[in-house]
Structure 1
Amino acid sequence: MMMDSFEYRLQARRPANYLALGFGLFTACAVLLAQAALWAWVPVGLYLAIVLWQLMRNPSDGLSLRGGSIDIYSDNKLIRRIPLAWIRSAQIRSGVFAPDECTLLMSDGNRIELPSAALPPARRLKRELQARGVSLA
């Protein structure tokens, strides 16, 4: 049976970072209107530089499930490809105040921790892995 592919990406260009840019610009305008001292521009300038750098670089983390394997991406590069046939089971934990975690238990006894930045929401990941025959521990 042919399974549709699934892909999840988390990029820097998302609404939260554009909101952070707006906050930085608002703060810069407030510092300008207040005619604040030069030292007040240092943290505002650093904050804006970091946000703009992230938006320009647009790093992307994620995973894709296709063709019988899991591909893990970090900073727009493929870092690992794991065949689904090698996976005995998966442990997926979702935290209230912590990021979701996924540990793959391999048929050779090894454990592989997937990077949390690359993971979709836990419920979706469980559904996608189960649809591809990976049992959940």
Structure 2
Amino acid sequence: MDDMAYEYRKQARRARGYIALALSMLLLEVTAKTPVQMWVQIAIWVFLAMTLWRLVQNRSGHLLITNSRMEVFRNGRKLGTFPLARITAARVRRRVFGNDECMLVLADGRRAFLPPEAIPPAERLCEELHARGVPLA
């Protein structure tokens, strides 16, 4: 492994997911004991279903940047290895709503988009790429 590697891991099962699960279960308990309108119960069930779906899916991402290469993983599978010398530019876009985006422009003209699960905060990603000599577009 090269010196000074930067590693970023992200997993869907985080504290916020379990807090949302506990909140939805608490709301269901309260609505079971007090009379509420049907649409309120439906909204809580939808929220609970979405929370459970996210926890079950458990999407994960992993990004490893060394002085010579970048490795990208999603859900435990290696998606690719990009030698830094073959990356002509990186475009990092910070979005207000939704996930940040990162596109790599390779020397042969191809473009590679990093999966949202493997993208660290935009500022940190830009710092790491700049420190390793990858031009930012």
Q: Work out whether the TM-score is over 0.5.
A: yes
| Structure 1 residue 46: Cα displacement | 6.4
Structure 2 counterparts to residues 55-70 of structure 1, below 5 A: 55=55, 58-66=58-66, 68-70=68-70
Instruction: Sort the Cα spacing of 1:116 and 1:106 in 2 relative to 1 into closer, same or farther, 3 A.
Output: same
Aligned residues of 2:68 and 2:84 also touching (Cα < 8 A): yes
Q: Distance in 1 between matches of 2:76 and 2:42?
A: 31
Q: SS where residue 135 of structure 1 aligns?
A: coil
Q: Out of 66-75 and 117-126, give the one that drifted further.
A: 66-75
| Structure 1 residue 54: Cα displacement | 4.0
| Structure 1 residue 51: Cα displacement | 3.1
Q: How many pairs were matched up?
A: 136
Structure 2 stretches lacking a partner, 5+ long: none
Q: Distance in 2 between matches of 1:79 and 1:48?
A: 32
Q: What's the counterpart of residue 29 of structure 1?
A: 29
| Structure 1 residue 29: Cα displacement | 1.0
Q: What's the counterpart of residue 74 of structure 1?
A: 74
Q: What's the counterpart of residue 103 of structure 1?
A: 103
RMSD of the TM alignment (CA)? 2.6
Normalised by the length of structure 2, the TM-score is 0.79
Normalised by the length of structure 1, the TM-score is 0.79
| Structure 1 residue 43: Cα displacement | 6.8
| Structure 1 residue 123: Cα displacement | 0.6
